[in-house]
């Protein structure tokens, strides 16, 4: 799946709860290179003018659906299959630079997807969405079964 396909999926998935889309788009626009988002639930709540519990619920839905993962308090990552800001990134706190001093790492989407697929700490839903052949449920059919898109 690529980010445009993800956008189509999200539009259908969150049609009945569009507030999730508002939070998702806010997170997409808040990314640093590599898809990292440095923000607490309170930061996002203040930015959007909503209560923290509303934002926390949206984060929980996005995490459960595999679009977002929490790396640590106040540090999140959007699934690169959903949205990725490429370019140059600085190493995370405690992470050694891979390149020469003063030179940032270049972020390539396929390399980042591979890192996620190999990361044993990545939640299963996050890895499932990052899988190149991912088929994601969009909404329940009349028989209660989910319909998938590829």
Domain ranges in the chain are: 3-130
- pLDDT higher than threshold 70 for residue 110: yes
- pLDDT higher than threshold 70 for residue 137: no
- The predicted-structure confidence for 5-18, as pLDDT tens digits, reads as follows 888 889 999 999 99
- pLDDT higher than threshold 90 for residue 59: yes
In a 3-state reduction of DSSP, which class is residue 10? helix
- Is residue 33 a contact partner of residue 87, using CB atoms and an 8 Å limit? yes
* Residues 59-85, mean pLDDT to the nearest whole number: 89
Give the per-residue pLDDT at 70: 95
3-130 topology per CATH: Arc Repressor Mutant, subunit A (1.10.10)
The average confidence (pLDDT) of the chain is 81
Give the per-residue pLDDT at 134: 72
Rounded to two decimals, what is the model's pTM?
0.65
The candidate with the shortest Cα–Cα distance to 99, out of 107, 129, 45, is: 107
Angle at 14 between CA 9 and CA 15, to 5 degrees: 100
* Residues 24-47, mean pLDDT to the nearest whole number: 91
Residue 148 backbone phi and psi in degrees, to 5: -110, 150
Start-to-end CA distance of the chain, whole Å, equals 7
- The predicted-structure confidence for 77-103, as pLDDT tens digits, reads as follows 988 877 765 656 666 667 665 555 555
Place of tokens 């990292």: 36
The candidate with the shortest Cα–Cα distance to 22, out of 42, 45, 53, is: 45
CB atoms within 10 A of CB 145: 9
- Is residue 96 a contact partner of residue 110, using CB atoms and an 8 Å limit? no
């Amino acid at each position: 799946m690529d980010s445009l396909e993800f956008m189509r999926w999200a539009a259908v998935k969150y049609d009945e709860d569009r507030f999730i889309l508002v939070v998702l788009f806010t997170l997409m626009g808040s990314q640093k290179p590599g898809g990292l988002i440095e923000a607490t639930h309170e930061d996002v709540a203040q930015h959007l003018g909503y209560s923290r519990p509303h934002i926390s619920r949206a984060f929980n839905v996005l995490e459960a659906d595999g679009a977002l993962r929490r790396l640590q308090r106040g540090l999140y990552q959007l699934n690169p299959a959903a949205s990725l800001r490429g370019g140059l990134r600085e190493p995370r706190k405690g992470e050694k630079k891979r390149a020469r001093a003063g030179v940032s790492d270049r972020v390539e989407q396929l390399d980042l997807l591979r890192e996620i697929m190999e990361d044993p700490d990545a939640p299963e839903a996050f890895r499932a969405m990052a899988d190149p052949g991912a088929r994601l449920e969009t909404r329940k059919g009349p028989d209660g079964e989910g319909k998938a898109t590829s």
